[in-house]
A and B are shown apart, each in its own frame.
Chain A
């Protein structure tokens, strides 16, 4: 039989209402007793049962690459492995060591501050035996990386061959051979369309066409552009992959990548062996050159030469 008293009076209540009243007050008790501990833990306080005091602690967040490393705080090994957060640490300095089998341990000193999170999250553990892999198949004297296409280019100066592979050494293939007239080439430069390879020494520039069908392309399509007058310091492909920007000891020139091309001198340089950088996205050449100032001294300046099509002298 149901009846409703509407009052919290344990003596006159139905059994389930009594149970409910007990549960209600138990819940209240749990809430008010538990809340300080939960909040203090969340705020970084540690309760000391001996002194009945809350001490403000700090937190240490550890991450390593790779994960799963053992953590030593002082001399003591801790239970969690990385990534881990070490809570309720009293403020101060700690000697920290992170160890993972097969890797060099990381050792450092960390400062834990009260009420703060100290993050040591950029630990890289290096392997004891690094994984080394040979990528080239043929002999090589130099290499460079094409980050845009994720390719590696290999050059063998002795026979003028240029090879290419992906970044893991796969799809390794010979793509061009520089003409023997360009002996002891200083550098190799692949055009932006990846169809040509230019190499140069002090006095010659050789251009070889890459073969996209895996056949050697060192035939009539390759050519040499002699440049006997001034020593060539560096060359750059224009973004059109047809013109070459040539830095010599005395000038900056452009010429077309074709046989019998005639160089056009754009800038006279005062300095020899000028450092330079070519931005192919904007076709701007940055170079250092010296200038005589009014005080009679010579100063180096950084210059910018725009070679994009609307400024082109072509």
Chain B
């Protein structure tokens, strides 16, 4: 897709979603759409490290919760506007990603995955034992009823998440078509060959972990205002990691569009199941879809589409 086409489609998509927010009066729509958009950010962030670079991160919940708890701390100290919380959450989670990169990027494969999982557990243990942010009993955040210009506060959160989804997709697409993106792909394909071709693999992996972590933290920053009650069980919920991994795998990890398709598909199905059947089904749906795609389309929906396109050509 050419640059101009991408930006036109992105603008149309954002405009449609924005227009919907002006027409729809039911607040539940915003609750549900916020979650889907949040998963677009999380899945896109995961894909920068997992899809482009080939390093599978199981510690998504750790980065996400780091952003959320940064907001709790700042809310208690000062109560800045949400864009500031997002920025700080992104910086903190990005730094965690950078440190994780330094500590773990000399290992790869399943060992790297285990290390990221361990990192999430370490952060969770720290938060559970930190009284200032509510510890294991959790913390209440009273959000304002109204937001300036927008009206309903949940609409405001939804619009913020919409902007973040657009930003994260734009970042992922820019990376994909840049020298950095090519470099990350060489790391995924063969690190030794990459180094022998002059690619500074360690530096690129650190950029990837930092950027991926920062976007996850940014996605988590508005969470306390969304849920209004945050405890470690909800902040570090297994579903964040499972969804952030499953969505790119189902959509396709080779390009920016994959996580978006996966997040829209899985997120919408989960929201539908939550309303019509039960939210307890959500993980079951992810599991069933993952098994289906691993068997039928191991390269995701985009991979399937690519195969069909090649056959026609």
* A and B assemble together: no
Q: Taking beta carbons and an 8 Å cutoff, which residues of B are in contact with A?
A: none
